[in-house]
Structure 1
Amino acid sequence: MRADAARNLTAVLHAGARLLAEDPGTSLAAIAAAAGVDRTTVHRRFASREALLSGVFQAKLDSTERVLDEARLTEAPVPVALHRYLEGIIPVSREWPLDTRRMMQKDPQARARRQEQGARLDAFLRRAIEEGHLRADTDPAWARAVLDRLVDNAAHHFPDLSPPRAADLIARTLLHGLGSP
């Protein structure tokens, strides 16, 4: 792909993510205008709003995959891996603000990919419990729900909070709010 075409695609995906998160009915023409490209540029790549949504979700899943890989959830010490994950996932949540649940209902491949990513995070939280970083009686599903909510709040309700600072706050809240005394 040519450099200008790659830039245009990135601009369209980011504009689509932002505008569709605000209003799911946003037109492709409005997304093209926000991306600074011609409407035909968007239509050449995406035949419909659903196709664009799929592209946005794939980009979000790709970014999440990189964060999970770089966090080294199975190798790094739990507090280090948690902080790496948080520092990476907060910018991803901000960059791709669309809720993936919508896509999970329509795209079996995206759903399977998201479930695999979720399983990696669930295994990490079970490891945190087994190693004593979270109380032994902590329900892993509850820990996951709390973690997801903390990330969402930091990413979207505290936009001026830097990712490293947000990671510090979330890790402290998770590990000491649920952690061993």
Structure 2
Amino acid sequence: MRADAARNLAALLRTGARLLAENPSTSLSAIAQEAGVDRTTAHRRFATREALLAAVFQAKLDAAEHVLDEARLTEAPVAVALHRYVEGIVPVSREWPVDTRRMMREDPDADIRRQELSARLDAFLRRAADEGLLRPGVPLGWTRAVFDELVDSAAHRFPELQPPQAADLVVDTFLRGVGAS
């Protein structure tokens, strides 16, 4: 792919993610204009707004998968992996703010992939519980919901937090709030 084509694609995806998160009915032409990309170029690349949204979902999933891989959830000590994950996923959440519930409704293939990535995080949280870092008897679903809310809050309600600061705060709050000690 030519460099200018790659730049245009990146601009359409990132702008599309932001604008569609703000207003799901934003037109492809409005996204192209905001991205600084010619409308015909945008329509040539994406026939519909839904096609762009599907590409945004895949970009978000690619970025999340990379964070999961880099965090080394199965190899690194739990607290280290937890911090790595949060530090990586906060910028992903900010860059790709599209709602995953919408992804579940509108793109079955993306939802299957999202479920697979989510299962990796669930397995990691089970590992954290098995290793005694989480309070016994707390249901995994509750633990995951609390964790997800902390990450979402750090990413979107406190945008002034840099990713390392957000990770420090989320991990400390999570482990002290749900932690074993």
Number of the residue aligned with 2:138: 138
Secondary structure, aligned partner of 1:75: coil
Number of the residue aligned with 1:24: 24
- C-alpha distance in structure 1 between counterparts of 2:24 and 2:105, whole Å: 15
Number of the residue aligned with 1:127: 127
- C-alpha distance in structure 2 between counterparts of 1:19 and 1:135, whole Å: 40
Task: Structure 2: give runs of 5+ residues left out of the alignment.
Answer: none
**Aligned: 1:44 with 2:36:** no
| CA distances 1:41-83 after superposition (whole Å, capped 9, x unpaired) | 1101111111110010000000000000000000000000000
TM-score (norm 1): 0.98
- C-alpha distance in structure 1 between counterparts of 2:140 and 2:103, whole Å: 25
Deviation at 1:106, TM superposition (A): 2.4
Number of the residue aligned with 2:4: 4
Match of 1:179, as an amino acid?
G
Number of the residue aligned with 2:99: 99
Task: Structure 1: give runs of 5+ residues left out of the alignment.
Answer: none
Number of the residue aligned with 1:77: 77
- C-alpha distance in structure 2 between counterparts of 1:75 and 1:178, whole Å: 22
- C-alpha distance in structure 2 between counterparts of 1:173 and 1:47, whole Å: 44
**Aligned: 1:112 with 2:120:** no
- C-alpha distance in structure 1 between counterparts of 2:136 and 2:169, whole Å: 22
How large is the Cα RMSD of the aligned pairs? Answer: 0.7
Match of 1:69, as an amino acid?
D
Deviation at 1:18, TM superposition (A): 0.6
| CA distances 1:117-137 after superposition (whole Å, capped 9, x unpaired) | 000000000000000100111
Secondary structure, aligned partner of 1:25: coil
- C-alpha distance in structure 2 between counterparts of 1:165 and 1:152, whole Å: 14
**Aligned: 1:66 with 2:66:** yes
Q: How many residues align?
A: 181
